[in-house]
Amino acid sequence: MARWFARRRRPGTQTPRLRSREDAVQATRVDLHELAPSTADYLGQVAQLQLGFFMTLSFAVEHAPNDADRETVAEAAATALRKHQALLAWLRRTSDDPGAVLEPYARTRDEFQAILRTGTWDELLLGVLVARGFLDEFFAQLARGLDGADARDLAAIVAPGPEEDPLVGILHRVIAAHPERASTLAMWGRRLLGDTMLVARSALVTESKALPDDARVEPVYTELIANHTRRMDALGLTA
């Protein structure tokens, strides 16, 4: 299955880049530090987001077409719940009123999860793969911009695990069995990426607490979008 993640060689990948990868990572970190919310707000929104993924994946467990897929999706649901519970435990340790911190993010959570569920079962899985892939990486990077010595521990909770996403195997099988689904799924993936980026953007703050300029945020996204493209490529879908 490793080949699914192998990056396809494309025309132009040999072109010398203007900045080294190290420079780019450095620049991203600086940007994120300036835009990072308070640790409490960070915990509140990521905890809610993971709860949302848990609920959507549980819904998918329920509607799985067979028990093998059910098992696989349950594993993905368990991961989201584990992240949620770790973040919530952290919030309870550090906040006087965890409920008040969480409450403002319930609506975003529900609205976003409602979008993820508007399609068919395979579209739901692709949507979670796209959204969670992007947001787990995004919030792991954002954690490194938080104040405090715990930033690294928080990033470790949120970051995608070293294991392959269990949903990839199911989607690969669906697409292999129904190649005619590829264009619909590709379109759905693009739409979901847009919604996902709005969720990410809403987590960033500027000094004025207004939404940050897209131009300022753009470099933050560059690597995350490249990883998104890689995930879609791995499924044979055009990003």
Site residues (CB under 8 A) for a copy of itself?
51, 54-55, 58-59, 61-62, 67-68, 70-71, 74-75, 77-78, 81-82, 84-85, 88, 99, 102-103, 106
- Return the half-sphere exposure (C-beta side, CA atoms, 13 A cut-off) of residue 152: 1
Provide, rounded to whole angstroms, the least separation between the CB of residue 175 and a copy of itself: 23
Q: Which is closer to a copy of itself, CB of 55 or CB of 151?
A: 55
**Nearest 5°: CA angle at 100, between 95 and 101?**
60
Q: Which is closer to a copy of itself, CB of 98 or CB of 145?
A: 98
Q: Which is closer to a copy of itself, CB of 94 or CB of 184?
A: 94
Sign of CA dihedral 20, 160, 233, 194: negative
Provide, rounded to whole angstroms, the least separation between the CB of residue 173 and a copy of itself: 15
Q: Which is closer to a copy of itself, CB of 102 or CB of 143?
A: 102
Provide, rounded to whole angstroms, the least separation between the CB of residue 109 and a copy of itself: 10
**Is 90 in a helix, a strand, or coil?**
helix
CA distance 135 to 108: 14
C-alpha dihedral, 231 to 235 to 236 to 239, nearest 10°: -40
Provide, rounded to whole angstroms, the least separation between the CB of residue 58 and a copy of itself: 3
CA distance 140 to 155: 4
Looking up tokens 């919530």 gives: 88
C-alpha dihedral, 169 to 174 to 177 to 183, nearest 10°: -120
Q: Which two tokens stand for residue 206?
A: 């500027």
Q: Which is closer to a copy of itself, CB of 92 or CB of 216?
A: 92
Provide, rounded to whole angstroms, the least separation between the CB of residue 14 and a copy of itself: 45
